[in-house]
Structure 1
């Protein structure tokens, strides 16, 4: 990578798990500590002697894979094998990699006091790749490998990592770069993995400041919010503000980035070469391991069978969907002049908001959660499109119960898209999607809701992440959530998360090629009619980009037939849960 790379981390457990720094963290209540999870990272180095990482009884596994070290499954010495703490160019690097690793998985071997600064997933391990060394002038520089897949991600994957935390990037590039393509290529080839990148610290430049490779389509891009240690806005409010330095989107091709934010100003974690000392640092570098650690906890939650009492391995798309689905709207962002500015939702400062795990991992029974996304085709949570134009419908009825306060119906769709071709860095709204899926929700009156990324004005043609929120669903009302294979170059898996207060759930697949070129262009109308007053039919009119029309007729018994010319496809009932 030609442009100079810059370094883009403890606390935030309560904020990102309950929305309140004073609450007992959700992970403590559920016994989630990351055990059995490995998180990959590439950074300046790790000081293996700090108490949060050390293993006095086991050598550091330099350039080999082991399961015996307390905290490291591998330490690849690609650049060198040392951490740094010196000031370079007037900026203290504080042992950047040590700080990030401690935020991820740190667990103190010494005092109870230092254990208060344990990482987000304190019983997870790290697979580490060193990408920093001193240049000829004595400055610390990042030197990632030219082939991120073969030389970096594959080696971390082989060491057990399925969540990757990357707190680095190029501040000179906002486009879908060769490195961004490599990130998408890795995730497409390893769909059980999720790569998480820092958005960058160039927020004072305004829009289009998010850095590559966080511009990849399928990775999670993380911005930074304030933490409770800042007091200028008052202890209860500032956690809802995006930090002034947090890089903003969109990408050069027009995609929404970052995807979400997490506390990154300040984070307290291990200080390199200082035993059990800690140090504060700020940046999206520090927010990224907060998110990655939470991703490891979600993965552990699924794999322990804590969702619906059945263990399964989630794919990377489901982990991303859970993180984004958990996110809560922020109040404002701070601009370069220290002025708080209002934001749309979602937008290019906060994405979909700040991660908050109790919005997807419910311990009180106040809402229902449905989650789909695995690579096992024999698992009922597997979701896959093989043909363009196919439709998956999810039907539910909103609860009439007054036991709990009313809750929004929220739906999040994510797919790990195939890599595309690298683009120029000119600012254009030109989609880089390869496969394009659509999300829509039909309410009891037949009205359709579209993704918030388009302000509800129609389908999203740019992002492999779509979300719809129905703030005030009709009690007792029937809703249909539709996922449509709008444009498929190749078969495509996806992940879907649904939450709200509902019951009577059913899932259906409509099998049929709606359009050989581009699938659905839009749902245009939905209305009720009657046949002799004895039965109710529901008619959908679909306009196709070729100018053709398709008609979908639902009979009183619930069957659906799809007509286009002389072609028919019947809905297949898959199951009721």
Structure 2
């Protein structure tokens, strides 16, 4: 029976108790505890026991008895199914990030210290890459420190850099949790793109001179590297801390030689920048370079954000932070990670420190921030019951709440997902926006597994928890149009070779094609085959506010010549942009539509109704459909969502029934509407409702539309997962349904919302209609 080293995540007290019982019974051996999970070694046959108790089990590596296993010999899907069952096997086989393409890392038990040392310099101190069996827990940190070793930087997964001499290397190798040690090489210092420039240059051709950022492993080495550069006649433009800025020929010999210096950790080109966060807003059609924009900026709206912390002295938030709650570190809401400040900048930064170049989606909205980073650098400030998190914000007046965090849970409907659904059900005017996760990969998560995707595409499902919540607005990441700065000059294969090794994805740029998705963006469906994410927004190479406490290596890169901003990427950035867009929609309803209390379902329906279906091959990969499991309903497009000067012919009609008892389902009823429609714009209809807090849809509604010729259109009839109902296509699994007609025959349209099955009535709903509307949305008997 195979053994695996795993992380077993517990998010509630009863799950932690189950994990402790497993340790006490020796089901889970070699335990190492953290605040949110226990790591240990478990027999393959016992994995299902943990999963059945509600724990999310992520394999780290397979344990070989004494020798490295052949690549094809690791556990197969069929053997896992035989031992733990289909459902558990499917979850486990999707769970681990491979250390190499197509395989789960294999670790040899009782490896000798000498066997762990893959390369060594016996003459001097050098920089090494140290790989651990799993994460750096506090006991491991203490053991490393006891050997006089200090880890400098985490590279990826469980690999770290350290400065060691021969004695230090051999001492490190004696630690049981250390897997391998090797020299840090120039392959990690310089990008493949830079090497490609060098290799493609014609002999004798002049190379383009660019400003380069040279990042050192340690600030103590600054003088050594500056001296080396001066010896070449290269005078640095600036040299401070662990960063040197110097002009060098792109891909030239000086860059390649500089990369070989052991003190140098990374060399990045600093490319001329343009206001590309304005472009992110342009992709969302909040504004445009020329002509009138949306003319909504979130004024009067309050956005709540729960994240690592906030740099409340950043100029872009001046006068608009109404409150801060330090949940993780009492009395300390600072942001040493930089994540929370960047997220807030995406949502509502006003760009004053960049002359308006770098702005969030809702630059006049106000902010209530909940810092959830704990003293150990984890999100320990999250309460076991998320209701406490949301209630605190709700009581302060927040009606849009962003959450750029989550746990990879095999698309599982976790307890946190239920917390979200139940809170929104109890507070139907609170929209909770959640990042889908950054767990999209293009290789099997464990050797021998079959993936759902074709070669060179991203596998599914991988959406995180609580992003599987039905009542949340879950956001995936599309690519921005950036072509300079950040990671934009890298391909997916260069940036993350272990995750995206195959074409076509491997050779595509990280940014540039707005019709494609970010490869890392987690895909659906949920375990109940519901569509997630709901929408996508730009999430690659996003510039936003930078915390003054966060070091540069926390980011994708620095914004040139302005320490107040930096680049990041992830669904963490896409989600707050959408939260900002929701604030704009809410401002519209309050100030222009005379509806002062829009529900979460109405805001969700409004944004989904206006989405643009992306046409890139990865955004339409199998299973095909609109919506599908990759992009959901599409990318947010504010100009197609609400009337504005950007779309002067667009009209919007709606019904939001959460405060209308007469339009609330109490049984298997039907509500009908009529509206006159022209043919100058597509007709779009979206139905959304806040459902009872269980995994599957409890109160099932159906959207039907017919045109003047009585042709019927059924909600989500083109979705990736549907079933036939009396010759038509129905969707029984989602609490959002759309109908899109392009072009619509002009005339009188009828819209029916029918309650098919209500497990727990009453049930309210929101209905949004946009297009060339020639009259009001009129309720019929």
TM range (shorter): 0.7 to 0.9
Secondary structure of the structure 2 residue equivalent to 1:203: coil
User: 1:276: how far off?
Assistant: 5.5
User: 1:481: how far off?
Assistant: 1.1
Indicate yes or no: 2:654 matched with 1:371: yes
Preserved contact between residue 335 and residue 341 of structure 2 (Cα < 8 Å): no
Equivalent residue number for residue 687 of structure 2: 413
User: 1:24: how far off?
Assistant: 5.2
Indicate yes or no: 2:471 matched with 1:188: no
Preserved contact between residue 328 and residue 355 of structure 1 (Cα < 8 Å): yes
Preserved contact between residue 611 and residue 641 of structure 2 (Cα < 8 Å): no
Deviations, residues 274-328 of structure 1 (Å, cap 9, x unaligned): 7952000000000000000010011111111x23xx3532111110001101110
The aligned runs of 1:429-468 (5 Å cut-off) are 432-452=696-716, 453=719, 457-468=728-739
Separation (CA, whole Å) in 1 of partners of 2:613 and 2:598 = 25
Equivalent residue number for residue 435 of structure 2: 198
Deviations, residues 427-482 of structure 1 (Å, cap 9, x unaligned): xxxxx11111110112333332212235684322110000011223223x432111
Separation (CA, whole Å) in 2 of partners of 1:270 and 1:236 = 20
Indicate yes or no: 2:407 matched with 1:124: no
Separation (CA, whole Å) in 1 of partners of 2:417 and 2:347 = 23
Equivalent residue number for residue 527 of structure 1: none
Preserved contact between residue 348 and residue 364 of structure 2 (Cα < 8 Å): yes
The root-mean-square deviation of aligned C-alpha atoms, in Å, is: 2.9
Equivalent residue number for residue 345 of structure 1: 626
Equivalent residue number for residue 228 of structure 1: 481
Higher strand proportion: 1
User: 1:13: how far off?
Assistant: 1.2
Preserved contact between residue 333 and residue 341 of structure 1 (Cα < 8 Å): no
Instruction: Please point out which of 391, 394, 397 is paired with 1:157.
Output: 394
Change (3 A) 1:48 1:312: closer
Separation (CA, whole Å) in 1 of partners of 2:327 and 2:434 = 20
Change (3 A) 1:118 1:446: closer
Equivalent residue number for residue 122 of structure 2: none
Deviations, residues 181-231 of structure 1 (Å, cap 9, x unaligned): 110111111111100000000111621100010100111000001112136
Preserved contact between residue 325 and residue 412 of structure 1 (Cα < 8 Å): yes
Indicate yes or no: 2:352 matched with 1:106: no
Equivalent residue number for residue 148 of structure 1: 386
Change (3 A) 1:506 1:48: closer
Equivalent residue number for residue 83 of structure 1: 334
Separation (CA, whole Å) in 2 of partners of 1:505 and 1:271 = 46
Change (3 A) 1:345 1:396: same
Secondary structure of the structure 2 residue equivalent to 1:288: helix
Equivalent residue number for residue 207 of structure 1: 460
Gaps of 5+ in 1: 55-69, 86-92, 401-405, 423-431, 510-571, 573-577
Gaps of 5+ in 2: 1-8, 12-35, 38-134, 136-275, 443-458, 490-507, 550-561
Instruction: Please point out which of 4, 10, 14 is paired with 1:2.
Output: 10
Preserved contact between residue 134 and residue 141 of structure 1 (Cα < 8 Å): no
Change (3 A) 1:374 1:165: farther
Instruction: Please point out which of 564, 572, 578 is paired with 1:291.
Output: 578
Separation (CA, whole Å) in 1 of partners of 2:697 and 2:683 = 27
Instruction: Please point out which of 250, 255, 258 is paired with 2:530.
Output: 255
Preserved contact between residue 383 and residue 495 of structure 1 (Cα < 8 Å): no
Separation (CA, whole Å) in 1 of partners of 2:526 and 2:420 = 15
Secondary structure of the structure 1 residue equivalent to 2:282: helix
Change (3 A) 1:168 1:142: farther
Equivalent residue number for residue 374 of structure 2: 133
Equivalent residue number for residue 44 of structure 1: 308
Preserved contact between residue 422 and residue 692 of structure 2 (Cα < 8 Å): yes
Instruction: Please point out which of 283, 288, 293 is paired with 1:26.
Output: 293
Equivalent residue number for residue 491 of structure 1: 762
Preserved contact between residue 246 and residue 284 of structure 1 (Cα < 8 Å): yes
Preserved contact between residue 197 and residue 220 of structure 1 (Cα < 8 Å): yes
Separation (CA, whole Å) in 2 of partners of 1:235 and 1:500 = 34
Preserved contact between residue 701 and residue 753 of structure 2 (Cα < 8 Å): yes
Change (3 A) 1:285 1:204: same
Secondary structure of the structure 2 residue equivalent to 1:395: strand
User: 1:43: how far off?
Assistant: 0.6
Change (3 A) 1:181 1:357: same
Instruction: Please point out which of 283, 293, 298 is paired with 1:15.
Output: 283
Deviations, residues 346-386 of structure 1 (Å, cap 9, x unaligned): 11111111101111222344233212226443xxxx87323
Instruction: Please point out which of 546, 565, 569 is paired with 1:282.
Output: 569
Equivalent residue number for residue 469 of structure 1: 740
TM-score (normalizing by structure 1): 0.72
Change (3 A) 1:118 1:219: same
Indicate yes or no: 2:563 matched with 1:314: no
Change (3 A) 1:469 1:322: same
User: 1:501: how far off?
Assistant: 2.2
Change (3 A) 1:23 1:215: farther
Deviations, residues 144-186 of structure 1 (Å, cap 9, x unaligned): 110110x200001111110001000001342111111110111
Equivalent residue number for residue 614 of structure 2: 330
Change (3 A) 1:24 1:127: farther
Change (3 A) 1:395 1:46: same
Deviations, residues 121-145 of structure 1 (Å, cap 9, x unaligned): 112111111111242xxx5445411
Secondary structure of the structure 1 residue equivalent to 2:673: strand
User: 1:398: how far off?
Assistant: 3.2
Indicate yes or no: 2:686 matched with 1:398: no
Separation (CA, whole Å) in 1 of partners of 2:322 and 2:423 = 20
Equivalent residue number for residue 171 of structure 1: 408
Which protein has the larger Cα radius of gyration, Structure 1 or Structure 2?
2
Separation (CA, whole Å) in 1 of partners of 2:292 and 2:536 = 18
Higher helix proportion: 2
Change (3 A) 1:108 1:244: closer
Secondary structure of the structure 2 residue equivalent to 1:499: strand
Separation (CA, whole Å) in 1 of partners of 2:461 and 2:418 = 18
